[in-house]
Amino acid sequence: MTSSIPLPLLGGALIGLSASLLLLANGRVAGISGVVGSLLAPVRGDIAWRVLFLAGLLTGGLLLVVVRPGSFPAPASLGTGGALLLGVAGLLVGFGSRLGNGCTSGHGVCGVSRGSARSIAATLTFMATGILTVFLVRHVL
């Protein structure tokens, strides 16, 4: 028997549920850059939940690889400069997260749901930038 619930819908619901539970239980926003960034300069008594949160993210990704192996591209499919390009892209995302005082998860999932004007502006900005980037890469370059 197959599930009638689309997998992305289930994933989105779980993200919303986990972000809500973290806010209700700990009073913390589930922004990945803030969670990971605070692990780089840890505060005593504030480490365990951050490590568990990060471990949950990694475990979820590993579980997806087991359940749906085709979900992630094989490293060889990235091409010759693909891994380098991926690394540069990751650094740019990290820079943007610092510049925008938060990341897509903090602003997009948590901030927009709370009606934060700053988060709405940030989310509109990174969505527009992402759309423009995809258009340029696929249709111009």
Q: Check: CB of residue 77 under 8 Å from CB of residue 7.
A: no
pLDDT of residue 75: 63
φ/ψ of 80, rounded to 5, equals -60, -50
pLDDT of residue 51: 92
Mean pLDDT by 10 residues, the chain (141 residues): 72 87 87 84 86 89 84 68 78 80 83 89 90 91 81
pLDDT of residue 42: 82
DSSP assignments along 37-91, one per residue: HHHHS--TTSSHHHHHHHHHHHHHHHHHHHH-GGGS--GGGG-TTHHHHHHHHHH
pLDDT of residue 128: 94
